[in-house]
Structure 1
Amino acid sequence: MSDSVENYDQNDLGINTTSMESYDDPNACILDVLDSGQEEEAIWKNRSIYKLHSFIKDRNDENKFEPLLVSIGPYHHGKKQLMPMEVHKHRALRHFIERSREPAQEYKNALMVEVKKLQESYDQLDVEYLNNPDKFIEMMMVDGCFILEFMDILSGAPKDYAPSDPVFSYYGCIIHSNCVTRDMLLLENQLPYLVLEKLVSVSQGRDQAPQDRVRAILSQMMMFSPDMDPGRHMLDMYMTGLFKGPATPKEEADPIVHLSASQLDHAGIKFNKISSFCEIKFDRNRSTLNLPALNINEYSVSTFMNLKAFELRGTTNRDFNSYIRLMDSLVKSVEDVKLLDSQRIISNFLESNEAVVKLLKDLARDTVVDKHSNSYIARKEMTEHYDENKKHWRFGLKLHAKGWISNLKQTYFSNPWSIISVVAAACLLVLTVLQTMYTVKSFYQGRPGIKGT
């Protein structure tokens, strides 16, 4: 990445980045500064980005409504926990403008024409933004360029970022995609769709591209159908897609079977211990999943957590993350731990088998799977093998038989006392049957005219 991209003076773009502090009156209403003659009906019609009432947040987990990583728009702008992403948002602005070869002022001018409409989109806008349109438009530019850059990379478009870029490389986007997407779909964290339209239009040349061309470009970036109304902002677009049918990619994610080790064992799939993580695979011919040994103790927990974190931040591989997701899918209960322990795939040195289940569940949070990893390929091939076999009636009969036997063992032969009880009951049943037969025989032998047998 060139120094001119990374080391730049943000003032060259006309963007004020020093004033990110909170304001004294965050609940100032736009009505306070509107001309008295403006129709209220027009105000309500323009509004589409709302602030939640405090009582709703008070009786719910506030994190459900608060951004975790990135602020979009004015409501959460400048919050301390979101400041680290501000640097990356301004980098996105820089890349977007330099790539378009259009001056930053052209973008500001295009947005300034719509400044009143953009301000009225917000239910509660701080007076600072109402009285300072330049500051408001600068924020719209920064946030809009961030959305366009991030979504464009997610859709597969190559960009001029370094392969190791922590946010805007392909892997950087994958790592942050869930959290950023979640933040961009918060009610209070929205940007008017009009901002995105203006930015894309200016980026296509000084004459500004026609709306249909802009719509086509945005539909590819934002992954919605070109003939679908994108709505007023990202959340509106998402809801529209839910009920009208979004444009789904032809190559959808491969279905993966979510069956535990015990369930797979009932289906005839075996587990085999191997010596290396590089050899993880599913052997179709032998119906065997080859897995390395996993030693779990009080020290390895920390190691696993740090391995996962380092792989996400410091490498372009996702092999360990994919492996953790595979193990999490296999271990859903204590029985799964016992089964894999019996195959020497899990060596548990924690206080209980329940602790292993919880550990793998915690480890699997925020993992990112690589479709090219051995673990993912093994899961995919195992799914295909399972789906092919379950179509045959013999497989179904065998599966049910194993399930019955397993339930029988678990219910009646899980411990010595259960076994003794079952044996005693069986003996009592046999004795009862013999006694009944003896009684019936004696009865018929004692009747006149009936010969004994």
Structure 2
Amino acid sequence: MAEAEENQMLLPIYCRSTDHKDQLPIMDNAVVVEVKDNLKKLLMKSVAVEKLGSSGKTIKPSIYKIPNFIKDVHKEAYMPHMVSFGPYHHGEKNLAPMEQEKLKVFRHLVDVKGVDYESIVRNVSNILEDLYGEYDDLDEGWWKDNAGSAEFMKMMIIDGCFMLVFFSNDEGYKSLITLKSDIKRDILLLENQLPFQLLKLLYEILPIRKDQNTTLTSLISNLLFVEKDELAIVEKKHILHMYRASLLYPSTLSYPNMDEIKKNNKDDKFGLKCQLIPQATLLREAGIRFRKSENKSLENVSFEKGVLKLPLLIVDDNTETNLLNVMAFEKLHDVGSQVTSFVVLMNNLIDIDKDVELLSNDNIIANALGNNEEAANLFSVLGKGVSLDLGSNNLTEVHQLVNIHCDDSWNRWWANLKHTYFQNPWAIISFFGAIFGFAILIVQAVYQIVDFHTK
């Protein structure tokens, strides 16, 4: 019966000739069946990738393959240089030397430290579906059969053990300590993440704790040079997620009043005043001063009474890679766009080396690159292809308030006066001398007029 109904509701498929004049409906059973089969296979494949976790719920991925439209900004910033973690870069030839180091570390844990690897395998197998669920767009070879699953589990165990030993800073692994900065860079790549659930499980088994006060969170905080409390507020999915949290700690999140912003920008059809502001040197000429915020959270930005407060930002060789990967994570995962919005603000403020010099003098930027022009180019790269998420944080309101200040004619006049006459002590003396002389002339004129009328 169902088959009969299916035959009665065939889809009309139209064949168009090359001259686009004739259209003939074709009722082709074979085409319809093939399309249905292909869609069914596609849906089945999707279900296979989005596996259920140990709790029976579908796990939302948190580790992503970065699409080309993001990578095109600066491909090298997303690629590991020294070591791979997880499936996305596993087996790449340029990373092969560190694979041997991973095996040495695991062998040392088993032979010298006495780690029971059979216990590790049993425990990791219990969360295998959870680990699969954390990875987006995982190649079929990792999960389609038992051999693929075994290879995936082995990789998770060896990579996780290696990462935890690296965190521990154990003197028994001096070769890892000498490569600390390079490995740390690769640990903060989005495509190089390991699920935090795996690291927690392995941490409970491996003998790498030095005392009772040492925790996994404290080991990670030592690596990232942040306070332990910055990472312990909310449990995160992986190390990059935790690093992002450290950039926004302590949280000062506030959302702007979009109705008020729209009212103040009723003539700004495209909302440019909420997204663009002049560079730092031009803002200084407009009378705006810069001050360092009370804490280092990238959300802690405010503008009041002509003073723009910004958090201290340390710019070094890893700043570009770290921020680009955090921004990619924000774009692909539903965590907000606070770091991206801050980068948009800094890209607006910094255009030339003079802008970097100005912000450095005001203790907003600590430039470890040594060259102001390099720092300016860095923010130019970071700002490519990104825009401010209107209404997601208070930076929209900050942009608007800065533009309102710059548009005010009194502020422009007063700023021009200061720029012209208050740049050095002699100019100030000359300015007030001129005012004093002009006042004397007025007094003399008044006395002459009074004297004339008296006589």
TM normalised by structure 2 equals 0.40
